[in-house]
Amino acid sequence: MGLDQYAYIKHDDGADDDRAADFVWRKHSKLQAWAETLFTAKTGQSADKLNCAELVLEAADIDTLEALVKQKALPKSDGGFFFGHQFQDEAADENAAQDLAFCAWAKDVITNGQTVVYSCWW
């Protein structure tokens, strides 16, 4: 049990198929805190509504995320019971390379006219 996070391309065909996520994180609570803040700002919904929902990421969102990762300034997570917030600083450090790889990938995908989505489940 715990926080599972995914990023993938939202395909235009809308098919609900077995395409694998392009990026997967486990209990990266600071990334989740960033996504929840963005989700609330974009939708006006509470952060808990992001569970099993999709958050479309735009180029500006990726630029912000990349800067926060590089500055080691991802927001602190107050955590959910299964979020792993007790070791969030360590998890942010361990995931920094993957976070930056995700940002580079997402920028390329968006530049090519495709849609990048973040989703989570806990």
pLDDT per position as a tens digit, 20-76 = 899 999 999 999 999 999 999 999 999 999 999 999 999 999 999 999 999 999 999
Helices vs. strands in the chain: H and E counts, helices first? 3, 4
Q: What is the pLDDT of residue 84?
A: 87
Q: What is the pLDDT of residue 16?
A: 57
pLDDT per position as a tens digit, 88-109 = 999 999 999 999 999 999 999 9
Position 14 pLDDT exceeds 80: no
Cα distances (angstroms) measured from residue 110 to each of 60, 68, 102, 107, 114: 10, 19, 12, 5, 5
Whether the CB-CB separation of 111 and 104 falls below 8 Å is answered with: no
Position 17 pLDDT exceeds 70: no
Residue 52 Ramachandran class (φ > 0 left, ψ -120 to 50 alpha, else beta): left
pTM: 0.93
